[in-house]
Structure 1
Amino acid sequence: MSPIANAFSIDVEDWFQVSAFAPYIDRAHWHSLPCRVERNVDLLLGMLAEQEASATFFTLGWIAERYPMLVRRIVDAGHELASHGYEHHRASDQTPAEFRADLVKARDILEQTGGCPVIGYRAPSFSIGAGNLWAHDVLLETGHRYSSSVYPVVHDHYGMPDAPRFPWRTGDGLLEIPVTTVRWGGRNWPIGGGGYFRLLPYNVSAWGLRRVNAVDQRPAIVYFHPWEFDPEQPRVDSANAKTRFRHYLNLHRTEPRIRRLLREFRWQRVDQAFSDELEKACAS
């Protein structure tokens, strides 16, 4: 096991809130759909407790409003509470004013519910990129100290492949912490969780994380969603084949893979794993 502690993060949203399902599921109907987030997050909390690992939960304000005791369980277990926005609107689809309002609403709900400061944010679908870097300024102005929203990869829905692979400071001092990639063949390859973790064999992800720890001498940051290890979730049959493939692939394999990941690496909250970088950003 590497002596470097990596950052484990969860984007707390339910199956019907995934951006790829937005064309098929009306937001106005969210309240009437069967929620599974509480069951899935509690399972995650149990897995983390078994390995005495801590994590950061980037949580939707919409979820916190409806499941305040779930938020309290996250905080009481020693994990970091961070923001995923209020209603899973992509930052790239919002104006600066809309983005600001979403940030403020979500942060207020999370802080009141969790009883703790919220300094971190992750944009839904990693939707901060070259076209809306102004979002970093708004994040800093609304009291956030770090973001994990720019993914330095090539992807059809997000990505800024020329962005730094490791934490970097924006012009005004916000710390951006990108999800981990491996540099290979002149290109960044995603090995930080999510759909790639389900698509590729486990050993590919483990090799990439060990390479970052050993060769780059850096902590890695990975991310998952509660719905990713819930094979019994409702199916959205109206979604196109590509969307269904990406969403439902290997759901039955994710829980045992995450358990193995938790055993084989050291894990901390994002604010702990990157505490030195945060202190420098806040001091400037």
Structure 2
Amino acid sequence: MSGTNDTNGAGAATSTGRITRVRNAMSIDVEDYFQVSAFAPYIDRGDWDRRECRVQRNVSRILDLLDARGVKATFFTLGWIAQRYPQLVKDIVARGHELASHGFGHERASDLTPDAFRKDILDAKLLLEDLGGVEVKGYRAPSFSIGEGNLWAFDVLAECGYRYSSSVYPIQHDHYGMPDSPRFAHEVRPGLIEVPVTTLRFRGKNYPSSGGGWFRLLPYGVTRWMIERFNRIEGRSAVFYFHPWEIDPEQPRIPGIDAKTRFRHYVNIGRTEARIAQLLADFEWARMDELFLPPAGAERLAA
């Protein structure tokens, strides 16, 4: 079952001009361009502090974009970013958005031991809560790096007080993915819900339909159709995500990267902001905690 009653009643375009009445989850993974996992072989982690940071200005633009449409979203924020830009965290909270965790150092959960993972997610949670003055309930693993080989991560998340995760992408991908995982929100541990990003089910296979590089590569109308179809056929809230660096075509280019990485990172990057604005206009959006965390006393999601 869904964690909310707001996902019922999908329909055609409404009097507001929006395509369905279903509220979908808008989420932003707050990291800078040089922290992208695909750049790890080319950028030493020790060089991060010497790189030009652009995340603060990009998040500010995103906040203005959301305000223009009256949309509240969830910001999965790196502890590394929060430590250096505490005002960014305070601005997210002050403008009514959900503050959530992306871990501290943008290390894949699949690359960490349980103890190292615990420190990473706990350090991030405590710092974000201290700066934001709110409970941090949600976590998203860098590169959706919870999979079949590290399901212990759910135990650690629950132990550290997180209430939901959005860390599994139920697709087949060369960097991540667990295609046999449930496509909808479900309880993975007592008190911990996994909310996978949205996929399109077609002929027995899951296809990405919720942001990232595919959103930039495919024509905008394809994403709009996939989300509308998900709302209408499944009757549930979709989960969409993007990164601040995806609206920044002037970001410094990383030299020496391979052609595949270059294409994935930079394809149509100059069009993303306008596409996000259109997406905000075409659908109803809300914070992830509002859509997927059951109210106090409500029935828990079925495992």
Smaller-chain TM-score bracket: over 0.9
* Per-residue deviation, 1:276: 3.3
Alignment partners' CA distance in 1, 2:29 and 2:202: 27
1:265 and 2:265 matched: no
Residue 237 of structure 1 and its aligned partner are, at CA, apart by 1.5
SS of the residue corresponding to residue 170 of structure 1 reads strand
1:120 corresponding residue in structure 2: 138
- RMSD of equivalent CA atoms: 1.5
Of 215, 231, 236, which aligns to 2:254? 236
The 5 A counterparts of 1:165-184 are 165-184=183-202
Deviation at 1:105, TM superposition (A): 0.6
Structure 1: give runs of 5+ residues left out of the alignment: none
**Are the counterparts in 2 of residues 60 and 85 from structure 1 also a CA contact under 8 Å?**
yes
Distance 2:277 2:138 in 1: 25
1:145 to 149, 155, 163: 163
Question: Unpaired segments of 5 or more residues in structure 2?
Answer: 1-17
What is the correspondence of 1:66-215 to structure 2 with a 5 Å cutoff? Answer: 66-215=84-233
Contact kept, 8 Å, 1:60 with 1:87, in 2: the verdict is: yes
Q: Which residue of 1 aligns with 2:15?
A: none
Matched, 1:217 2:235: yes
Deviation track 1:199-246 (CA, whole Å, cap 9, x = no partner) reads: 111111100100111110000000000000111000112111111110
1:229-270 Cα distance to aligned partner (Å, 9 max, x none): 111000112111111110011000100000000000000000
Q: 8 Å contact 1:55–1:80 — kept in the other structure?
A: yes
Secondary structure of the residue that 2:179 maps to in structure 1?
coil
1:146 CA drift (Å): 0.2
Q: SS at the partner of 2:265?
A: helix
- What is the match of residue 20 of structure 1? 38
CA distance in 2: counterparts of 1:239 and 1:92, whole angstroms? 23
Structure 2: distance between partners of 1:270 and 1:250: 27
Encode CA deviations 1:20-72: one digit per residue, 9 max, x unaligned: 00111111110111000011100000010000000000000000011001110
Contact 1:118 1:144 (C-alpha < 8 Å) held by counterparts: yes
Residue 158 of structure 2 contacts residue 189 of structure 2 at CA under 8 Å; is this kept in 1? no
Counterpart pick for 1:276 among 294, 299, 303? 294
Partners of 2:135 and 2:300 lie apart in 1 by: 17
One-letter amino acid of the counterpart of residue 55, structure 1: A
Question: Percent of pairs identical after alignment?
Answer: 60
User: TM-score, normalised on structure 1?
Assistant: 0.97
Q: Partners in 2 of 1:38 and 1:282 — Cα distance? A: 36
User: 1:78-114: per-residue Cα shift (whole Å, max 9, x none)?
Assistant: 0000000001000000000000010111111100011
Number of residue-to-residue matches in the alignment: 284
> Separation in 2 of the partners of 1:109 and 1:27?
20
The CA deviation at 1:173 is 3.6
Q: Are the structure 2 counterparts of residues 277 and 159 from structure 1 closer, same or farther at C-alpha, using a change threshold of 3 Å?
A: farther
Distance of 2:179 and 2:123 partners within structure 1: 31
- State the Cα distance separating 1:283 from its structure 2 match: 11
- TM-score normalized by the length of structure 2: 0.91
Whether contact under 8 Å (1:174, 1:281) holds in the other structure is no
2:148 counterpart SS class: coil
Distance in 1, Cα, partners of 2:293 & 2:103: 23
In 2, distance between residues paired with 1:16 and 1:165? 30
The aligned counterpart of 1:251 is: 269
CA–CA distance in structure 2, aligned partners of residues 280 and 41 of structure 1: 36
**Structure 1 segments (4+ residues) deviating >2 Å:** 275-284
